[in-house]
Structure 1
């Protein structure tokens, strides 16, 4: 089959790889009909290169049609239409039973001290072949995949794999009070969808970004916007708009892809050039990252407010402004989305004929899988108005 493979930093290729097979009796194999390109995929594109192996199949936002099921699968059948969550969770362990599917004890990666395995996401998270491919092996087939109805297009449902539950959890963790203001840092896919969710819930939303097309898109939804490059100081601008206090809640939807720390960026690139045996412990223990967005969130939130981290960070021991965080009495919530925790809550919005979250028009680019290498480069450079890309294998 054809699949998008990682071959080195900034080197993605579409290659022929072996077709997936049923390994465990609870597995299924799906034919992928739509699969997304995520901002988190850009972390593999360069910053997390030390944990990648040439030939790794990437991608973690797939949906498709069930082609084969293992002998112990009871609730899923050939022909079912499903979305596959990006975190591989069993649904029955201690953490899954508490809604912490991203910490699944069955698929935790104890060798690296990390949580549940993720589709297409490096040795740190299980090195599970990903979903930017023509076919995909799906584990725990009676729990993990989400069955969706026939009829509406894939664009209505594919975001259940990651974008929707990640944005949904970000808004839940932000816990915006009634009458409060939410600041969203970053108007990429997660920030954009979090904005849609919060606006639908009647919140005042301010979105900060530096890409005009992204700001125009959320402004059209009803959000207030801040062009980061047009203000002297983001925190001051937010306080000026909120009676001098700051936002009640902030969602950092950027993470390590933030610009603003050229020293950290050079260090990340330098470590990426080292042999993996040297680079891996540096990434895990030395700890450095691009923290511009997180520091902005801490500055812009009001005293006693909440910062919700949806953007992924990779440094293990980054310097944090602990005095400011303690002094401002902040609450900080974070983590990979517990996808299956939220899918039942989100589904009614997706089967609503009015498409209240605008999922069917959410993608800015629908491309064949063969265009993936160019799409990665353009998405990284924020070119061509590229906000959300979905591939058709």
Structure 2
């Protein structure tokens, strides 16, 4: 089959790889019909390369049709249309019983002291072949796959794999008070949906912060007040100006380690990427530093007693944090990989014909799998108005 294969920094290729097969009785194999390129995939494209191995198959946002199931898989059958959550969880261990599916003890990658295994995401998370491919082996298929109805296009459901649950959890963790205000840093796919979900759940005002014109325009379409980083010197002050001087009740950091405006973190990332892989891996594990511009600004912009929810991925070990300011402002901080299956039952009814979250206008680029390298490059550089890229095998 064909798949998107990692070969190095800024080097992904579409190549022939072995077809997946049933290896465990809890496995399934699906024929992929759509797979997204995620902002987290860009970390593998540039930042987290020390933990990648040439030949890794990328992608963790797939959906498709079941081709084959193992002997212990009874909840789905061949022909079913399914979305595959990006985290691989068993559904019955102690952490899964608490709906902390991203911490599943059955698939936990203990070698690197990490949580549940993920599709297509470095050896830190199990090095499981990903879903930017024609076919995908799905471990723990007795629990993970989400059955969706026939009829509507894939754009209606594919975001259940990651984007929608991640955004829903980010808003839930932000603890926006009734009629409260929320500021969302980063208006990529996750940030866009955070804005729409926050408004849907009753936020009085949603403020979106970014520097890409197309992203700002898309957010405005859904009633978001926007702050353009290109023309704003003091973002926290701009947020306070729009919230009676207090700051936002809740702030969502949907940027993570790719934040602009942090030259120290940017240089550290690039220098680490130039080192031999074993050396770079150890430095990242023991002395990693992130670009923290977005998070530090979020701490400045949140109201006293407010909550910051982090959905953007960070990877640093020695990140400097303004603890005095955080303590003095009595900030609550919540974060973590999305527990996908926890949120599916509440999100799925919103994917009906009225489409209140506007899922069908999120994808700006839909490309055949063969053009995946072009999609990665456009998404990384925000070219041609790229907000979300979907691949079709």
| 2:298 corresponding residue in structure 1 | 297
CA distance in 2, matches of 1:119, 1:272: 23
| 2:120 corresponding residue in structure 1 | 120
CA distance in 1, matches of 2:356, 2:283: 45
**Which whole-Å deviations, capped at 9, do the CAs of 1:99-153 have from their partners, x for residues lacking one?**
1000000111111111111000001100000000000000111210000011111
Normalised by the length of structure 2, the TM-score is 0.99
**Which whole-Å deviations, capped at 9, do the CAs of 1:63-91 have from their partners, x for residues lacking one?**
00000111221121100000000001010
| 1:189 corresponding residue in structure 2 | 189
What does 1:1-393 align with in structure 2 at a 5 Å threshold?
A: 1-203=1-203, 204-350=205-351, 352-393=352-393
| 1:15 Cα deviation after fit | 0.5
**Which whole-Å deviations, capped at 9, do the CAs of 1:172-221 have from their partners, x for residues lacking one?**
00011012100000110000011111112231100010111110111011
**Which whole-Å deviations, capped at 9, do the CAs of 1:327-347 have from their partners, x for residues lacking one?**
110000000000011111111
Normalised by the length of structure 1, the TM-score is 0.99
CA distance in 2, matches of 1:232, 1:357: 31
CA distance in 1, matches of 2:94, 2:103: 10
| 1:378 Cα deviation after fit | 1.2
CA distance in 1, matches of 2:224, 2:200: 11
CA distance in 2, matches of 1:63, 1:344: 17
CA distance in 2, matches of 1:120, 1:93: 23
Stretches of 4+ moved more than 6 A in 1?
Answer: none
Count matched residues: 392
| 1:361 Cα deviation after fit | 2.0
**Which whole-Å deviations, capped at 9, do the CAs of 1:254-290 have from their partners, x for residues lacking one?**
1011111222212212112222221112111112011
Identify which range, 365-374 or 328-337, moves more after superposition. Answer: 365-374
CA distance in 1, matches of 2:171, 2:131: 26
Q: Secondary structure at the match of 1:260?
A: coil
CA distance in 2, matches of 1:107, 1:170: 23
CA distance in 2, matches of 1:21, 1:364: 33
CA distance in 2, matches of 1:45, 1:141: 28
Where do 5+ consecutive residues of structure 2 fail to align?
Answer: none
Where do 5+ consecutive residues of structure 1 fail to align?
Answer: none
